[in-house]
């Protein structure tokens, strides 16, 4: 394993540990500050709108300079955002923190995917599966830790930890960017058009459905548990079971994608995810919701590394960061509009009805993956 791959994987763990600590408590924190459900949904989703606009810039910088430079900048902004959360006492400052966090997400996430894929070479599918597994590990560890800290010591320590971890990631990637700056990058005539080909656009649309489901449910269920009177660690346990399940499916997806059509694997994942969302509308109370978490996590785990692999193989290496940025923009757009729409439904018709409408998301993603599967049959990773 080369140094670039080690840095890419290690910084991914630390970055997502910091952000998962925040995600595990932020919606609850907003409600505890007296902010209503609709405004909480806006605060939750704002980061993804900001990231949506930042990704093309970050992708271009990463392609022209270094993926690690973009990752370093992203980690720095998340550190500043964490400090902003620490001093927020109301809607306005919390919004400022989310804007900074959105800039950080825009600069870190898609370049980290491209960095791991490039460093792994022919084993990109397996490496992306390992990367996804490591993210799942943070989902196992961070939520119960965050819930325990909030219940026993309050929110401040969460934001301090997130700031420190993000600062470490910024330094780690900054050092790698300096080390690799002398490497000569091969250039071709590839540009924005090649980065946004038909296959990338289709996977981007599937990612929109992914983001709508995952990021809506992440904030809504957290707020729902709070309004039901559960302690913060209850949602932490939901994410823990989600992470335990998805770590296995991400490994399976990464391994199978080296010899099977990744779109087919993703299709199976979306079908499983749709089943779990259907179950959630009836099984949202503890402990039945933890069964939902296990199925939901397994389904999601089959979709993430496979869709990323489709994108990385669909474009020349010289525009891979930009292509991954477009893919992530779909996720961001879903993450912004989903919580807004379904948060509004929850405020009018209740959380359970909102869960029922959410079923649209995994079904839509499954249809797109079925289409890609048919188009890719016998053609490899291209249309």
Residue spans per domain, the chain: 3-183+190-376
**Residue 65 pLDDT level (bands cut at 50, 70, 90):** confident
What was the pLDDT predicted at 184?
Answer: 43
Both tokens assigned to 35: 């902010």
What was the pLDDT predicted at 17?
Answer: 95
User: Can you spell out the DSSP letters for 137-174?
Assistant: HHHHHHHHHHHHHHHHH-SHHHHHHHHHHHHHHHHHHH
Check residue 186 and report its DSSP letter. Answer: P
pLDDT average, residue stretch 6-32:
92
Q: Give me the residue label for tokens 């993450």.
A: 335
Give per-residue pLDDT as tens, 287-299: 999 999 999 999 9
CATH code for the part of the protein at 3-183+190-376: 1.20.1250.20
What was the pLDDT predicted at 218?
Answer: 82
Regarding pTM above 0.85, the answer is: no
Q: What does residue 252 show for φ and ψ, rounded to 5 degrees?
A: -60, -45
Separation between Cα atoms, residue 260 and residue 308, nearest integer Å: 15
Check residue 34 and report its DSSP letter. Answer: T
Give per-residue pLDDT as tens, 154-193: 999 999 999 999 999 999 999 999 887 655 455 555 677 7
Is 19 strand, coil or helix?
helix
pLDDT average, residue stretch 71-92:
95
What was the pLDDT predicted at 190?
Answer: 61
Separation between Cα atoms, residue 98 and residue 168, nearest integer Å: 20
Q: What does residue 31 show for φ and ψ, rounded to 5 degrees?
A: -65, -40
Residue 101 has pLDDT above 90, yes or no: yes
**Residue 255 pLDDT level (bands cut at 50, 70, 90):** confident
**Residue 269 pLDDT level (bands cut at 50, 70, 90):** very high
Separation between Cα atoms, residue 63 and residue 190, nearest integer Å: 11
Give per-residue pLDDT as tens, 182-219: 554 555 556 777 788 899 999 999 999 999 998 888 88
What was the pLDDT predicted at 125?
Answer: 80
């Amino acid at each position: 394993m080369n140094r670039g791959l080690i840095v890419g994987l290690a910084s991914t763990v630390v970055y997502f540990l910091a952000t998962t600590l925040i995600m595990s408590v932020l919606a609850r924190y907003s409600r505890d500050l007296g902010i209503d459900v609709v405004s909480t949904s806006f605060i939750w989703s704002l980061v993804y709108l900001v990231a949506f606009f930042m990704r093309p810039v970050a992708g271009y910088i990463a392609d022209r300079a270094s993926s690690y430079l973009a990752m370093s900048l992203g980690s720095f902004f998340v550190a500043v955002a964490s400090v902003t959360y620490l001093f927020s006492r109301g809607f306005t400052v919390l919004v400022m923190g989310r804007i900074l966090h959105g800039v950080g997400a825009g600069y870190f996430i898609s370049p980290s995917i491209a960095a791991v894929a490039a460093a792994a070479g022919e084993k990109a599918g397996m490496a992306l599966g390992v990367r996804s597994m490591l993210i799942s590990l943070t989902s196992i560890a961070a939520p119960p830790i965050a819930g325990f800290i909030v219940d026993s010591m309050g929110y401040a320590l969460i934001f301090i930890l997130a700031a420190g971890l993000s600062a470490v990631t910024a330094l780690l990637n900054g050092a790698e960017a300096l080390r690799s700056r002398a490497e000569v990058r091969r250039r071709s005539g590839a540009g924005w058009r090649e980065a946004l080909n038909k296959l990338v656009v289709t996977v981007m649309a599937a990612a929109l459905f992914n983001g709508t489901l995952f990021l809506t449910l992440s904030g809504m269920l957290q707020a729902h548990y709070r309004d039901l009177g559960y302690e913060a660690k209850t949602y932490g346990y939901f994410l823990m079971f989600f992470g335990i399940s998805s770590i296995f499916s991400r490994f399976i997806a990464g391994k199978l994608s080296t010899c099977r059509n990744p779109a087919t694997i993703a299709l199976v994942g979306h079908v499983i995810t749709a089943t779990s969302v259907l179950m959630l509308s009836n099984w949202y109370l503890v402990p039945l919701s933890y069964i939902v978490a296990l199925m939901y996590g397994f389904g999601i785990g089959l979709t993430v590394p496979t869709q990323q692999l489709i994108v990385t193989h669909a474009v020349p290496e010289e525009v891979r960061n930009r292509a991954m940025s477009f893919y992530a923009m779909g996720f961001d757009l879903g993450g912004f509009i989903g919580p807004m729409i379904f948060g509004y439904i929850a405020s009018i018709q209740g959380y359970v009805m909102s869960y029922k409408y959410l079923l649209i998301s995994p079904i839509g993603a499954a249809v797109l993956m079925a289409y890609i599967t048919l188009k890719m049959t016998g053609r490899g990773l291209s249309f």
